[in-house]
Amino acid sequence: MKSTYQKVKFGDLYSIPSRNGLSRPESVRGSGYKMINMGELFAYDRIGDIPMELVSMSPREINDMCVEEGDLLFARQSLVLSGAGKASIIERVHEKTTFESHIIRVRLDKDKADSLFYYYYFKSPYSGMRSIVQQGVQAGIRGSDLQKLFVDYPALPDQKNIVSFVDLYDQLIDTNRRRIQLLEESVRLLFREWFVYFKFPGHEKVKLVDCGGKKMPAEWEYLPFTKINLFKKAPLGVPVFTDIRQYCQTSEIDGTSITGNGEEVDYENRPSRADIAPRINTVYFAKMKDTDKVLYFNKGNSDLLEKILLSTGMVGFTADEKYLGFLFGLLTSYEFVQYKNNFATGATQVSLNDASLKKIKVLFPVLNLVELYSEIVNPLLEECSLLRSQNQLLAQARDLLLPRLMSGAIVV
């Protein structure tokens, strides 16, 4: 059904002119104020208090170049056509936060437009965003073209009604994400308690021995990670791609990118070589330095196995189901991430290679503790996987409903 709403130029809804962000070379980053990069824009549809790079700002820039709750951010450039013009919304910021030069900031007049409505609008096929995308070496949009783009303009009360309806899906998705974060954090904390602080069941009766100036339980040993026979390296992924969210069949996996800079493109038009899918009972981690995110697959989310393709920006290890929890705990531990950072190399992108991966040694406990720990935490990870699958279904339902709401085919 064709839209029954009137059309206005998007710029007519602005409260202030749109702005491109700050340009800051890598050499001057590291202190100051948070800056939203393209990585955050593509990894998060709703941007709040998340870790970001820090940059310095002048008093004038602090006044003019910060974001506020409700601001819309659009990607000026993308390696793929579908990423150009990708929209995110600022959900909450508790400190001064700016944005980088490849991003356009739009601040809408609250008396004319609901920013959440237009966040959803630009997620729908009715936005007309594709009409202003210019294709070159990279796909991109210009702020001047975005300002002139004609958009549907329901009355403000109708905008708010639509938002209240569709936002219920995202609220449920967000609740599930928070539960996942809490469950995974409890798994990590227990790993640290048992295998770093040595407060495992029966630790009072275990003798500690000296190992290079450090105390460790007797019968435990330092082993090269790749030599632990409980874990088998999974096949590598697709060359040229760097993110686990590449080539998703649907728009939502778990809301986060394993490397923080993923873009989604058309699964059906993937290259023929992009056919390596995840394995069950496998934990994948990013090779990049300073990245501690992992993605894991067990029986709780086996339905997602055919909906993701892997890239060479990560490496995976498969374990028997009874050892999967320990593998997750180990790969997300602070100690393992530090080992990875120490051995990561590269001039342009610091990351692990096969040779450096083999140099990583980890403290491996006695097998009965590995099994006991996994027995405790595997149900928690399965619950996380089920929640991710629920989010997949919620996102699918939301995305089917969204075009009909935005077009006026469904009145709420």
pLDDT tens profile 247-263: 333 223 333 333 333 34
Q: What is the pLDDT of residues 324-365, one digit of tens each?
A: 999 999 999 988 888 888 887 766 667 777 788 888 889 999
Kindly tell me if the per-residue pLDDT of 405 is higher than 60. yes
**Range 71-88 average pLDDT:** 86
The confidence score (pLDDT) of residue 213 equals: 78
Are the C-beta atoms of 217 and 208 separated by less than 8 Å? yes
Q: Among residues of the chain, what percentage have pLDDT more than 90?
A: 45
Strand 231-233 relative to strand 33-36, pairing: unpaired
Helices (H), 89-154: 115-121, 143-148
Please tell me which residue, 189 or 245, carries the higher pLDDT value.
Answer: 189
Please state which CATH number belongs to domain 182-375.
3.90.220.20
d(CA 309, CA 277): 5
Kindly tell me if the per-residue pLDDT of 135 is higher than 90. no
**Range 56-68 average pLDDT:** 94
The confidence score (pLDDT) of residue 258 equals: 36
Are the C-beta atoms of 394 and 169 separated by less than 8 Å? yes
Residue 247 burial by Cβ neighbours in a 10 Å radius (0-12, 13-18, 19+) = buried
- How many helices and strands (H and E) does the chain possess? 9, 21
- The token duo for 61 is 């820039």
The confidence score (pLDDT) of residue 275 equals: 45
The confidence score (pLDDT) of residue 159 equals: 93
Out of 162-166, 234-238, 355-359, the most confident range is 162-166
Sign of CA dihedral 295, 296, 299, 302: positive
**Range 269-277 average pLDDT:** 49
Kindly tell me if the per-residue pLDDT of 271 is higher than 90. no
The confidence score (pLDDT) of residue 20 equals: 95
CA distance between the termini of the chain: 16
**In this structure, what DSSP letter does residue 32 have?**
S
Are the C-beta atoms of 154 and 162 separated by less than 8 Å? yes
Kindly tell me if the per-residue pLDDT of 298 is higher than 60. yes
Domain 6-153 grouped into CATH 3.40.50.300 = no
At 409, is the pLDDT very low, low, confident or very high (cuts 50, 70, 90)? confident
* pTM for the full predicted model: 0.75
Domain 6-153 shares a fold with domain 182-375: yes
- The token duo for 202 is 């029966």
The confidence score (pLDDT) of residue 374 equals: 95
Which of these ranges, 33-47, 131-145, 223-237, 387-401, has the smallest mean pLDDT?
A: 223-237
The confidence score (pLDDT) of residue 261 equals: 37
At 312, is the pLDDT very low, low, confident or very high (cuts 50, 70, 90)? low
Average pLDDT across the chain, whole number: 82
The confidence score (pLDDT) of residue 37 equals: 92
The confidence score (pLDDT) of residue 347 equals: 60
Strand 46-47 relative to strand 87-90, pairing: parallel
Annotated domain spans of the chain: 6-153, 182-375
At 175, is the pLDDT very low, low, confident or very high (cuts 50, 70, 90)? very high
**Range 181-192 average pLDDT:** 95
The confidence score (pLDDT) of residue 246 equals: 36
Q: Which residues contact 400 (CB under 8 A, 6 or more apart)?
A: none
The confidence score (pLDDT) of residue 257 equals: 35
What is the phi/psi pair of residue 374, to 5°?
-65, -35
